[in-house]
Amino acid sequence: GAVVSQHPSWVICKSGTSVKIECRSLDFQATTMFWYRQFPKQSLMLMATSNEGSKATYEQGVEKDKFLINHASLTLSTLTVTSAHPEDSSFYICSASGTSGRSTDTQYFGPGTRLTVL
């Protein structure tokens, strides 16, 4: 149990385009989802926290108009990188927490999405 998937696993896009990344909790209801980005050889940096049906809470320094987050259901959250530029190239990882049957509110991570902006 407690499986989180992400789609796509990798994406290459041209500068100026928008990219949508999906995060799904497959076997539990995720009341809260978190979005992270990770640069090579660095730790995970929290971008935003989203609760189902509410607006996301963004970390300081993260542009909410550039990184649009939608958490419309208890099993799906999306991150849209709008007008992507090369500096947005990174590894984006989501995590989900909720009642999974084994433990409550433990964060389980997705496999990540590698974004490369040309």
**C-alpha span between 10 and 92 (Å, rounded):** 10
**C-alpha span between 49 and 85 (Å, rounded):** 23
**C-alpha span between 19 and 90 (Å, rounded):** 13
**Residue 4 found at the interface with another protein (CB under 8 A):** yes
**Which window, 12-20, 67-75, 79-87, 101-109, contacts another protein (CB under 8 A)?**
101-109
**Count of residues touching another protein (by CB under 8 A):** 28
Residues 35-57 as b or e (16 or more Cβ within 10 Å = b): bbbeeeeeeeeebbbbebeeebe
**Residue 32 found at the interface with another protein (CB under 8 A):** yes
Pick the binder of another protein from 25, 49, 77, 78 (CB under 8 A): 49
Binding site for another protein (CB under 8 A): 4, 6, 31-32, 34, 42-46, 49, 59-60, 91, 93, 95, 97, 103-112, 114
